[in-house]
Structure 1
């Protein structure tokens, strides 16, 4: 059942967004731009996956068999990014580190190259521009690649951003648009759409957006409209080249090493993010020697020069995975209660499309056509 939430003429102007990650921040900003009265609830010790993510905008290299509709939505969101970044940077005065040099996917051995070949065929069917490259062509683009690299695929339209800068920009743009923030943790949403806080306060709302990632399941709701979101642990390293050194990589490099994925994402300021594990271990957010060793082992096979990098930070985040690994967006069967959740590996990439979808859901009660498959009230997720 689709719940209609008309515009502010019906008095649905007070919106509380629970969660200050990218999904929550972009929802708040876009809703405030539509004239809604928006409050974001986010604890001061926030643990959102957005603060840890590498920031790859890679619909081509994220393509997976069986996820074609999701990839079409990802391509749609990627197409919004250029205008989205320009608008957000102007609104916030913050550079979000949009890096537009493309992504190079490379294979360590013949089996990995066979996987990339199949992936390239899928990309072609989805209409995603990619180009098969020989090992020599790969090393011409990225001279620091290991000579043993078997070949690769170039995705020139796969870009990246710095998620921490993106979060900061959304927070500033939201504040300038009138978004208020409460540093607390939501513990319950009542039938009357009151949001009860851990600190004892209560926020009254006409509409509530639950965008708390894999911690959303800890919030009591009037009905079980949020399926169990499983935490998927990711460990990664933030590194930097020694001062005065040539760049290790010039674009995002994603590789397969004996079937295991690894990536290096360069920033404009010289930082390189190396990651990441994908572990189904519940809410365990501990950094482990084994996880970090695996990342470095595989990265060294593809780019031996990673051994020269200075480690500046080791990070761990919990991605929110829905039962079908697809996002949950828009109205639920509880009138006025919306979801912006379950983005799993694609939270950064889907940020512009999430903002577009949630703004329409909050003002018109419907999702735009590209997002309708991912409706929060779809039967297989409730």
Structure 2
């Protein structure tokens, strides 16, 4: 069994992510800081627009959240009280996923295991059923596609679930991808588009000329650029790169996950299945991914006994077959979470753009985020669909609080 703070999942380890040792260029039209899902998606779109692009990564491609994720594209299952402002962007990005998938697979030659079976959210017992009905009411009021199912219909869709599953919601439009294949595809697509990816290169300071960012000082030297994009995920809240007035309210939330190896004897799920405790995602290579804890513990790496127990027990409550499945890997990663759990997509200063804070929705929001950032860089204007996700919203909230207590 592979135990890692980064997801190298046994036989699933061969992701196809290969970066040649690359020297840092001295200049690029665009420098993207961060080679995670969001950074590579933005870089690819900008390269397609004809710009020279360099991606700088402090560690290796996908470290942090991108390779640790489950790959959920689930606006309905994720919808909760207070998330209405994010919903239009989430649904727009989901609508863009099929085109994004087709382009990515054609550019990379890698199938990303895009699965459209839908998602089941299940409940056991009266209290969970009541909370599930509340969730369903919220989904319907928000115009989302979700169908209430009695326990018998849930088990007809997933016969391996326990008879004690009392009810469920079927969200037909909630899909999933395999993160390791998406990241491998993005790496190849970027390389094919002429993007330079430099790993093990830390950005130490931004280069300012007046109020404008014109490049960065790194552990490998300086690089100049017309635009620098911060896509540093959970590390975006690092105060060392930005002045106080541009500080990003982003923090890490650790998530622990595990991979189980299924067989014809154990069987596997056909849909992504959510409970109140865990979500379970079947992958085409026969693995079942169980995730994920949510822990506000800063950048404390690693896997804990309590975290693994919570995952296994949460899954076992509804899926007894996991008792016979081999645990192939366990890992943890850091979600980039803003103060309101929504992304920050904005121009912070001339020449400085940010795309971060996607919380649990990085994979869902990647196509729309990449398109919006590309439009922002090439035209200077952020599309209306992302206009409410700037940094200023947090300052307005602070001002309202101050006025309320004045």
Q: State whether TM-score is above 0.5.
A: yes
- Counterpart for residue 3 of structure 1: none
Gaps spanning 5+ residues in structure 2: where? 1-26, 399-406
For the pair 1:294 / 2:314, whether they are aligned, the reply is no
Aligned-residue offset at 1:381: 7.7
Q: Please, which moves more after superposition, 178-187 or 81-90?
A: 178-187
Counterparts of 2:265 and 2:203, CA distance in 1: 47
Q: After superposition, where does 1:98-113 map in structure 2 within 5 Å?
A: 98-113=114-129
Secondary structure of 1:164's counterpart equals helix
Post-superposition Cα deviations, 1:163-205, rounded to whole Å, max 9, x if no partner, equal 1111111111111111111221212112142211124x11111
Counterparts of 2:234 and 2:207, CA distance in 1: 20
Match of 2:180 among 142, 153, 164: 164
Gaps spanning 5+ residues in structure 1: where? 1-11
Counterparts of 1:351 and 1:205, CA distance in 2: 23
Counterparts of 2:334 and 2:245, CA distance in 1: 22
- Does structure 2 retain, via aligned residues, the 8 Å contact 1:72–1:126? no
Residues 162, 226 of structure 1: alpha-carbon distance in 2 compared, 3 angstrom cutoff: farther
- Counterpart for residue 336 of structure 1: 351
- Counterpart for residue 68 of structure 1: 84
- Does structure 1 retain, via aligned residues, the 8 Å contact 2:43–2:53? yes
- Does structure 1 retain, via aligned residues, the 8 Å contact 2:43–2:190? yes
Counterparts of 1:140 and 1:275, CA distance in 2: 24
- Counterpart for residue 253 of structure 2: 232
For the pair 1:367 / 2:382, whether they are aligned, the reply is yes
Counterparts of 2:145 and 2:92, CA distance in 1: 14
Aligned-residue offset at 1:246: 5.7
- Counterpart for residue 404 of structure 2: none
- Counterpart for residue 24 of structure 2: none
* Structure 1 residue runs of 4 or more that deviate by more than 2 Å after TM superposition: 43-48, 216-219, 221-224, 244-248, 375-382
- Counterpart for residue 133 of structure 1: 149
- Counterpart for residue 207 of structure 1: 227
For the pair 1:55 / 2:62, whether they are aligned, the reply is no
Match of 2:52 among 14, 37, 42: 37
- Counterpart for residue 203 of structure 2: 186
Secondary structure of 2:93's counterpart equals helix
- Does structure 2 retain, via aligned residues, the 8 Å contact 1:338–1:376? no
Counterparts of 1:359 and 1:268, CA distance in 2: 32
Counterparts of 1:179 and 1:44, CA distance in 2: 17
Aligned-residue offset at 1:303: 0.7
Counterparts of 2:180 and 2:368, CA distance in 1: 19
- Does structure 2 retain, via aligned residues, the 8 Å contact 1:227–1:323? no
For the pair 1:115 / 2:135, whether they are aligned, the reply is no
Aligned-residue offset at 1:359: 0.6
Aligned-residue offset at 1:216: 2.4
Counterparts of 1:25 and 1:112, CA distance in 2: 39
- Does structure 1 retain, via aligned residues, the 8 Å contact 2:30–2:225? yes
For the pair 1:324 / 2:324, whether they are aligned, the reply is no
Match of 2:189 among 173, 194, 197: 173
Counterparts of 2:122 and 2:28, CA distance in 1: 49
- Does structure 2 retain, via aligned residues, the 8 Å contact 1:97–1:165? yes
- Does structure 1 retain, via aligned residues, the 8 Å contact 2:254–2:297? yes
Q: Please, which moves more after superposition, 264-273 or 223-232?
A: 223-232
Counterparts of 1:282 and 1:210, CA distance in 2: 20
Q: After superposition, where does 1:214-363 map in structure 2 within 5 Å?
A: 214-218=234-238, 219-222=240-243, 224-242=245-263, 244-245=264-265, 247-256=267-276, 261-332=277-348, 334-363=349-378
Counterparts of 1:98 and 1:381, CA distance in 2: 38
Aligned-residue offset at 1:377: 4.2
Aligned-residue offset at 1:13: 7.1
- Does structure 2 retain, via aligned residues, the 8 Å contact 1:20–1:48? no
For the pair 1:78 / 2:87, whether they are aligned, the reply is no
Aligned-residue offset at 1:222: 5.0
Q: Alignment length, in residue pairs? A: 364
Give the alignment's TM-score, normalised by structure 1: 0.92
Counterparts of 1:44 and 1:234, CA distance in 2: 19
- Does structure 2 retain, via aligned residues, the 8 Å contact 1:331–1:377? no
Counterparts of 1:217 and 1:366, CA distance in 2: 24
